[in-house]
């Protein structure tokens, strides 16, 4: 009986397992290739970290690009969290003139193609003296996060029972006191989800820095790795690119595996309401 049952399941596991191999193979291969020997790379033979050493020395150096990416990601996350926390509170708990219009406008950011906005933003940031600046790039990336972040924080605040906040108001807290002491802990899961999505978007974005950053010293990591590949077109350095992909992918995969629950929540809310 048990055997028959197991046999009945075999086709399922062959199919699902086969697909899993296909989905895992590129990731595993890339990690392996980045440390294994290839002619024409810094790691000619055997196993080692030669390709990663190439990255350390490339142009402004890996540390510089990692720093750029970290600055942009941290700024984007901080801006997104700050703006959407206050905005979500306002939309969930207050009535004010223009509320619906502002909420609709925020969501409308989703409807407008990236490229349509980046061309005028290139000019606009120039006028604000924020062209070719990591701060300007972070401001733009945070703006693109606002529709999801504001929506997420609004529903997070709406899920908190009003009594909690009102008892604080009775105790003499102002609205900002209630937000800080009572509501902040209650909406923490929403904040983690928003922060996670903002980080992944900022860390991985390619087209915004491509257009807004002209100085290779200021390039975030994805742009730097793509440039590395272009500059060495004569003799293509696949090894260094593979090492770059590992450095790029590592924090994303790690965060995803650690915060899977929060990731899924963002997902479900979007998929259900969408």
Partner 1 sequence: MQPQVSDRTAADGRRTSTDRTSRTLRTRRIIRTHRTSLPGPAGGPWWRSRKAKGLGYAAPTATFVTVFFVLPLLLVGQMSLSDWPLLAGDRGINSPENYTDITDNTLFWPAIRFTLLYTVIVTVVLLGLALLLALLVQESRPGVGFFRTVYFLPGALGLASASLLFWGLYSPTTGPLSALLEGLGLVDDPVSFLGSPTSALLSTVFLIVWKFAGFYMLILLVGLQRIPHEVYEAARMDGADRWQIFRRITLPLLRPSLALTLLLCATGSLLAFDQFFILTKGGPDNSTVTIVQLIYREAFQRLDLGTAAALSIIVLAVLLLLNVLQFRGLRHADES
Q: Is 19 in the site for partner 1 (CB under 8 A)?
A: yes
Please give the residues from 200 up to 229 whose contact with partner 1 meets the rule CB under 8 A.
Answer: 200, 203-207, 210-211, 222, 225-226, 229
Rounded CA-CA distance 26/32 in Å is 10
Options 14, 56, 74, 112; binder of partner 1; rule CB under 8 A = 112
Indicate the residue among 67 and 102 with the shorter CB distance to partner 1. Answer: 102
Q: What's the min distance (Å) between Cβ of 43 and partner 1?
A: 12
Contact 237, 188 (CB under 8 A): no
How many residues bind partner 1 (CB under 8 A)? The answer is 97
Residue 10's H or E segment, with its range, is helix 2-35
Residue 4's contacts (CB-CB under 8 Å, 6 or more residues apart) are: none
Options 45, 82, 158, 164; binder of partner 1; rule CB under 8 A = 82
Indicate the residue among 1 and 257 with the shorter CB distance to partner 1. Answer: 257
Q: Is 135 in the site for partner 1 (CB under 8 A)?
A: no
Options 8, 11, 234, 274; binder of partner 1; rule CB under 8 A = 274
Beta bridge partners of 45: none
Q: Is 15 in the site for partner 1 (CB under 8 A)?
A: yes
Residue 239's contacts (CB-CB under 8 Å, 6 or more residues apart) are: 33, 34, 38, 40, 41, 42, 43, 50, 51, 54
Q: CA dist 247 to 67, 69, 151, 218, 222, Å?
A: 13, 11, 32, 18, 10
Please give the residues from 143 up to 162 whose contact with partner 1 meets the rule CB under 8 A.
Answer: 143, 146, 150, 161-162
Please give the residues from 42 up to 81 whose contact with partner 1 meets the rule CB under 8 A.
Answer: none
Q: Is 169 in the site for partner 1 (CB under 8 A)?
A: yes
Indicate the residue among 67 and 247 with the shorter CB distance to partner 1. Answer: 247
What DSSP assignment string belongs to 114-141?
HHHHHHHHHHHHHHTT-TT-HHHHHHHH
């Amino acid at each position: 009986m048990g055997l028959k049952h197991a046999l009945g399941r075999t086709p399922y596991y062959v199919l699902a397992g086969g697909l899993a191999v296909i989905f895992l193979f590129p990731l595993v291969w890339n990690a392996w290739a980045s440390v294994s020997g290839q002619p024409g790379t810094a790691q000619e033979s055997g196993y080692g970290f030669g390709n990663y050493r190439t990255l350390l020395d490339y142009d402004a150096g890996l540390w510089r690009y990692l720093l750029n990416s970290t600055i942009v990601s941290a700024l984007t996350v901080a801006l997104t969290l700050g703006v959407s926390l206050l905005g979500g509170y306002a939309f969930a708990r207050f009535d004010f003139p223009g509320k619906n219009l502002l909420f609709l406008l925020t969501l409308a950011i989703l409807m407008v193609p990236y490229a349509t906005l980046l061309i005028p933003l290139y000019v606009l940031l120039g006028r604000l003296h924020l062209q070719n600046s990591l701060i300007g790039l972070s401001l733009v990336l945070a703006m693109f996060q606002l529709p999801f972040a504001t929506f997420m924080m609004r529903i997070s605040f709406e899920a908190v029972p009003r009594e909690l906040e009102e008892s604080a108001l009775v105790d003499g807290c102002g609205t900002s006191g209630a937000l800080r002491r009572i509501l902040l802990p209650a909406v923490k899961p929403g904040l983690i989800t928003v922060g996670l999505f903002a980080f992944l978007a900022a860390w991985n974005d390619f087209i915004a820095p491509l257009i807004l950053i002209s100085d290779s010293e200021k390039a975030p990591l994805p742009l730097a790795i793509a440039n590395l590949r272009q500059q060495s077109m004569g003799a293509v350095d696949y090894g260094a690119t593979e090492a770059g992909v590992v450095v790029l992918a590592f924090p994303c995969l790690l965060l995803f595996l650690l915060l899977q629950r929060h990731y899924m929540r963002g997902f479900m809310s979007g998929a259900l309401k969408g």
